[in-house]
Structure 1
Amino acid sequence: MVFRPVDCPALGVPNVSARSGRLNLALSNTCGHRCTARNAGDSPEPTGTDPRRKDSHMTTAEPADNALDLAARTLLSPEAYDGSETVNNAARLLRDQSPIHYVEHPDYNPVWVLTRHADVMEVEAHQKEWLQGGRPFLQTKHEIGRIERGEVPDVPVLIDHDGDQHRAYRAITQKWFTTRNLNRLSERITVLAKRAVDRMDEYGDTCDFAQDIAMHFPFETIMSLLGLPEADYPLLLDLSRRVLGSGPEEERLNPGSDEYGALIGELFMYFNNITEERQANPTEDLASVIANAELPDGTEMPLIDKIGYYTIFATAGHETTASSMSGGILALAQHPEQLQLLKDDPTPANIRTATDEILRWVTPLKHFCRYAAGDYTLGDHQFHTGDRVYMSYASANRDERTFDDPDTFDVTRKKASSHLAFGFGVHHCLGAELARIQIRALLTELIPRLDSIAINGTPEHIKAISVSGLKHLPIHYNLYTNQGD
């Protein structure tokens, strides 16, 4: 299974396709099946150079032959997202000189890389002209090959769908993520946030914030929402970390490997059992809603789609929120003057603004992909049916045309909420508000109790195609024993 985020940059997500009986996971590598235009025979997915480009002379085996090609390849490289300025410098060059840039890469099929905020917004706003097509993320040629040969499982998930099908599937759980409904969970989320800070206190004055704190809080929130037994948390957390590659390096699996397929099989069997149990004995939780879901025509949602829904929430559903929390703590440790601003005035309004700035700064989901359903003009560029674009959220959230001084971390930023960390349009992250509420809750509990914080070692970043975040964040800190001391 290749993970695709559940209609949500904040939720990160698994991909599944009943049509092909596959189950892939796009959080490491993604894009499981054919786009609508290609299914209709309008245009095959490009596999080599683009015949429409006069300067498209590079083959996928050749190295990048100019600075712009190298910059575009950098945005596609998981290793480049290492906390340095490599990605930001590459993105800035593309925004200034080639904001719509065609790139060929040895590992991936060709794409057009979009780096400006306005261009990404326009594509996301025109869902009829730009389709998910079952491949909302970048995916290696090797993985696509194994999927198409039926060698690895693939499960369809929410963000794979377009049009009426997407609306119907999203509507099944949408009310659970409204502000009104989530407010009813605020007390539980506050308890979990306090528990997270108390856990820091129990560790003494040092911890790995990414593994010891951030990994657990959002995970426990999602488990509470699903209504899954607490006794199952350790199993599901272990499976999630191994699936998403956020656990120990020695446990990382290639999404195209047999071992990875077996791991997905474990998740499939677990949620198949949950479905049977909730159908027999439904309760007031999200798992029961999914287990008993019906489509608009009154037919039952296919089991494979239910499994995709569960898996999105139980694995990727918490990963991007955890990444935002860890990235936010790293930013505050690196910018003590910004931490002091929050400590001096930790009002709900200031916490809200800081939360959006953290999301802009971290950008936990690197990109989404779209296919052109027909000819389309974007700026001065003419796209054709079947063309694929890579929308770089990492670049769009640092676009100086939208954000003043974008490479400065500013918890008082007035336009922070203009970020695209959750995407935009009909595929705007389903869990966006839940992610915000959790980050705010953590800051609300932590800031008044935090005397000081510093990095206590070398942070390690996750090497994944679609998600950005920290695998390890060693910190040293001092907490006040009680709030207000």
Structure 2
Amino acid sequence: MSEAAVDISTSSANEIAPGIPDPYSLPLDKIDVSQGELFRQDAHWKYFERLRKEDPVHFCAESENGPYWSVTKYRDIMHVDTHHQIFSSEGSITIRDQLEDFVLPMFIAMDPPKHDEQRKVVSPIVAPDNLAKMEGLIRERAGKILDGLPHNEEFNWVDRVSIELTTQMLATLFDFPFEDRRKLTRWSDVATADLNSGLVESEEARQAELLECAEYFIGLWNERVNSEPGSDLISMLAHGESTRNMDKMEYLGNLILLIVGGNDTTRNSISGGVLALNQNPGEYKKLLENPELIPNMVSEIIRWQTPLAHMRRTALEDTELGGKQIKKGDKVIMWYVSGNRDGEVIDRPDEFIIDRPRARQHMSFGYGIHRCVGNRLAEMQLRIIWEEILKRFKKVEVVGEPRRILSSFVKGYETLPVKVHPL
């Protein structure tokens, strides 16, 4: 099964998947890469290939998210990401605008100095000494999860492994009641869900669930703020100088950021790695023969998967990028998923190569002041789960097609049917 394989048996000649036209059959100005269906059907690759070749800084005048610029090449994305004085994060980090009556401020969607002050409050939780303390706990949990899997029987890897490991970790980071940890998964999914996904019925239903999240966490805040400062994220926020006076919506916004950042990215890379190795059996064989490649493979998985497909900025002034005139106030989308396949910077970008030189050169964590604060924790969880997999199984075999998420933001999986074969 190749990365570009699509079932076109029910498609017409100019479709690359059911209902998805071949991008080369469309006028360039009609290409809209923000459609979630492109990602659900894994049909976005040729769209970004065309934009990189023909219009790397591309304007889409009409979409369900309004007009926007697509930045699709590695170096251009890097320019936008590292010039926060020109390209602001204020307001929203996704192509979807926040609703005026339900704004969730969060530090990733802020500019300095407030961004820097709030980020500094939570960053100690992923400091190297703290990560070293967490390693044993993650390994113990990974082992228990893997030991509980049925052998030679089909099950959903996303639910049994990817979600379970990352949700247990999130519960620890928040010191969240362990028995309620699946609430974190639900709130993460609800926060980012496309309204056509079937996950939430309406915008009102989404807001109601997120307000339930806020109420739950306010209860935890009230416990922590009246106790000695602890080492969990809620205690850090409650006692942090720049975060202790947050209102309810800013608290909720930062919680959603930390939940999605700690959950979606790692869980979809855990699933994506299993899929990539099954699509590339030569690389799986290489891994089994050379387990010491795991740390490098982790970076390649994160590049290959690109668990968050894009980040959004807003131009603070008129500026030029790639020969195009971007106006103040324009919406600018950095497509990390495209930059990670840019052959001008990454050699053989469409191949999954676990011993790739300079594998950490990917864009999946962003650059500049907004680079993912938890990137080392994500890498550590992936490294440990694969070290533990190789101790137990000769193969994690994908036995059916994955079901992907309807989203142009979270690039992930609802299901991945697998069987595990013990050593």
- TM-score (structure 2 length as normaliser): 0.88
Q: 1:225 aligned to 2:225?
A: no
Pick from 36, 40, 47 the counterpart of residue 78 of structure 1: 36
- SS in structure 2 at match of 1:420: coil
Any conservation in 2 of the 1:290–1:309 contact (CA below 8 Å)? no
Q: C-alpha offsets along residues 97-138 of structure 1, whole Å, 9 cap, x if unaligned? A: 110111123412111111100000011111111111212111
Pick from 168, 190, 203 the counterpart of residue 139 of structure 2: 190
One-letter amino acid matched to 2:46:
N
* Inter-partner Cα distance in structure 1 for 2:254 and 2:332: 26
Q: 1:177 aligned to 2:135?
A: no
One-letter amino acid matched to 2:240:
A
Pick from 388, 391, 396 the counterpart of residue 453 of structure 1: 396
Does 373-382 or 423-432 show the bigger shift?
373-382
Q: Which residue of 1 aligns with 2:207?
A: 261
Q: Which residue of 2 aligns with 1:120?
A: 77
Change (3 A) 1:284 1:113: closer
Q: C-alpha offsets along residues 197-241 of structure 1, whole Å, 9 cap, x if unaligned? A: 2132x4653221011110110111111111112122244334444
Q: Which residue of 2 aligns with 1:294?
A: 241
Pick from 332, 337, 340 the counterpart of residue 277 of structure 2: 332
Q: Which residue of 2 aligns with 1:160?
A: 109
* Inter-partner Cα distance in structure 1 for 2:261 and 2:192: 7
Question: Displacement of 1:181 after TM fit?
Answer: 2.2
* Inter-partner Cα distance in structure 1 for 2:190 and 2:329: 34
Which structure 2 segments of 5+ residues have no match? 1-22
Question: Displacement of 1:303 after TM fit?
Answer: 4.1
Q: C-alpha offsets along residues 24-79 of structure 1, whole Å, 9 cap, x if unaligned? A: xxxxxxxxxxxxxxxxxxxxxxxxxxxxxxxxxxxxxxx99944234x41x21111
- SS in structure 2 at match of 1:281: coil
Pick from 51, 57, 60 the counterpart of residue 94 of structure 1: 51
One-letter amino acid matched to 2:236:
V
- SS in structure 1 at match of 2:77: helix
Q: Which residue of 2 aligns with 1:369?
A: 312
Any conservation in 2 of the 1:403–1:415 contact (CA below 8 Å)? no
Q: Which residue of 1 aligns with 2:323?
A: 380
Change (3 A) 1:316 1:379: closer
Q: C-alpha offsets along residues 133-181 of structure 1, whole Å, 9 cap, x if unaligned? A: 21211116xxx5xx22x2xx33211211001011111111112222332
Question: Displacement of 1:395 after TM fit?
Answer: 0.5
* Inter-partner Cα distance in structure 1 for 2:323 and 2:364: 26
Pick from 217, 225, 229 the counterpart of residue 271 of structure 1: 217
Any conservation in 2 of the 1:189–1:441 contact (CA below 8 Å)? yes
Any conservation in 2 of the 1:134–1:160 contact (CA below 8 Å)? yes
Would you say how many aligned residue pairs link Structure 1 and Structure 2? Answer: 399
Change (3 A) 1:360 1:67: farther
- 1:134-145 maps to which residues of 2 (within 5 A)? 134-139=91-96
Pick from 42, 49, 60 the counterpart of residue 103 of structure 1: 60
Q: Which residue of 2 aligns with 1:356?
A: 299
Any conservation in 2 of the 1:209–1:475 contact (CA below 8 Å)? yes
Does 230-239 or 427-436 show the bigger shift?
230-239
Q: Which residue of 2 aligns with 1:37?
A: none
Question: Displacement of 1:268 after TM fit?
Answer: 1.0
Pick from 164, 169, 187 the counterpart of residue 216 of structure 1: 164
Q: Which residue of 2 aligns with 1:410?
A: 353
Any conservation in 2 of the 1:159–1:427 contact (CA below 8 Å)? yes
Pick from 311, 315, 322 the counterpart of residue 267 of structure 2: 322
* Inter-partner Cα distance in structure 2 for 1:234 and 1:65: 44
* Inter-partner Cα distance in structure 1 for 2:316 and 2:371: 20
- SS in structure 1 at match of 2:176: coil
Pick from 164, 185, 203 the counterpart of residue 237 of structure 1: 185
- SS in structure 1 at match of 2:356: coil
- SS in structure 1 at match of 2:166: helix
Change (3 A) 1:234 1:295: closer
- SS in structure 1 at match of 2:44: helix
* Inter-partner Cα distance in structure 1 for 2:309 and 2:86: 22
Any conservation in 2 of the 1:244–1:316 contact (CA below 8 Å)? no
* Inter-partner Cα distance in structure 2 for 1:365 and 1:421: 7
Any conservation in 1 of the 2:139–2:384 contact (CA below 8 Å)? yes
Question: Displacement of 1:245 after TM fit?
Answer: 4.2
* Inter-partner Cα distance in structure 2 for 1:120 and 1:478: 41
Any conservation in 2 of the 1:272–1:307 contact (CA below 8 Å)? no
* Inter-partner Cα distance in structure 2 for 1:303 and 1:265: 9
* Inter-partner Cα distance in structure 2 for 1:204 and 1:293: 49
Any conservation in 1 of the 2:39–2:408 contact (CA below 8 Å)? no
Which structure 1 segments of 5+ residues have no match? 1-62, 481-485
Any conservation in 1 of the 2:72–2:336 contact (CA below 8 Å)? yes
Change (3 A) 1:66 1:159: same
Question: Displacement of 1:316 after TM fit?
Answer: 4.8
Question: Displacement of 1:448 after TM fit?
Answer: 3.4
Pick from 183, 205, 225 the counterpart of residue 153 of structure 2: 205
Any conservation in 2 of the 1:113–1:389 contact (CA below 8 Å)? yes
* Inter-partner Cα distance in structure 1 for 2:245 and 2:58: 43
* Inter-partner Cα distance in structure 2 for 1:326 and 1:67: 35
Q: 1:306 aligned to 2:234?
A: no
One-letter amino acid matched to 2:93:
P
Any conservation in 2 of the 1:372–1:383 contact (CA below 8 Å)? yes
Change (3 A) 1:258 1:235: same
- SS in structure 1 at match of 2:329: coil
Any conservation in 1 of the 2:336–2:364 contact (CA below 8 Å)? yes
